[in-house]
Amino acid sequence: MVTTTAILTLIALALFVFNARRTRQQVNGLKTGLKLLLKNLPIILLALILAGMVEVLIPRDFVQNWLSAEAGIRGVVIGVLGGIMLAMGPYATLPIVSSIYVSGAGIGTVIALISSWSLLGLSKTPHEAAHMGGKFVAYKTVLGLSMSFLAGCVGLGLEYLFF
């Protein structure tokens, strides 16, 4: 955790220096970041509480049978379907995904969950339909479902090979 924070801090500093030299927008960048944080803070806090509750409520047997690495393809399919249902932004979704992972879900399931949420999450559909039309939504859904399933299977394979 400390190493990751240090790396993120270094990247942020590098971008700050880059902006200072190239765009002179470095202070605006800081303000934008802080504004974005303040705007999303209530969502992050609520999502973390929700995730903490999910962690203690989710039955171990369910995770073991349906979401763990041992669940195999079944876990990936549930991950894909679950991701579509998570119709929220990243600040709300990612803590929930984390709680499912901490409860014992397999890597394939978690990857399928994040992939299908990011590609097919229901919160995007109204925007897609409004601007791109129904045919586009249908095509993207079919493609997105197969790609999320594929990503989950790759994750499952990585888990079997390396963990």
Partner 1 sequence: MKKTLIGLSIATLIIVLLAYFTGGTDLVLDGLDRAFGNMKKAGFMILTSFLLIGQLLCIVDENMVNRILNNIKGLKGIVISALVGGLMPVGPYLFYPFVKMFHGHDLPYYILIAFIFGKYTYDFARIPMEISLVSPKIALLRYLSTLPIPIIAALITYRLFRNRTLSQLHHRKTD
> 58 to 87, contacts with partner 1 by CB under 8 A?
none
In the chain, the N- to C-terminal Cα span, in Å, equals: 20
Measured CA to CA, the distance from residue 152 to residue 107 in angstroms comes to: 8
Given CA atoms 61, 63, 67, 72 in this order, what sign does their dihedral have?
Answer: negative
Of 42 and 65, the one with the shorter C-beta distance to partner 1 is 42
Of 60 and 89, the one with the shorter C-beta distance to partner 1 is 89
> What track of x and - describes contact with partner 1 for positions 8 through 27 (by CB under 8 A)?
xx-xx--xx-xx--xx-xx-
Q: Out of 1, 21, 61, 161, point to the residue binding partner 1 (CB under 8 A).
A: 1
Measured CA to CA, the distance from residue 44 to residue 94 in angstroms comes to: 9
Instruction: Report the nearest approach of partner 1 to the CB of residue 158 (Å).
Output: 6
Measured CA to CA, the distance from residue 91 to residue 26 in angstroms comes to: 24
Establish if 39 lies at the interface with partner 1 (CB under 8 A).
yes
Establish if 47 lies at the interface with partner 1 (CB under 8 A).
yes
Instruction: Report the nearest approach of partner 1 to the CB of residue 142 (Å).
Output: 10
Distances (CA, A) of 122 to 28, 135, 144: 32, 16, 12
Q: Return the residue matching tokens 């944080």.
A: 37
Of 65 and 157, the one with the shorter C-beta distance to partner 1 is 157
Measured CA to CA, the distance from residue 102 to residue 50 in angstroms comes to: 14
Q: 87-146: which residues touch partner 1 (CB under 8 A)?
A: 88-92, 94-95, 97-98, 101, 107, 110-111, 114-115, 118-119, 123-124, 127-128, 130-133, 135-136, 140, 143-144
Instruction: Report the nearest approach of partner 1 to the CB of residue 124 (Å).
Output: 5
Establish if 160 lies at the interface with partner 1 (CB under 8 A).
no
Nearest to 148 by CA among 70, 78, 52, 80: 80
Establish if 161 lies at the interface with partner 1 (CB under 8 A).
no
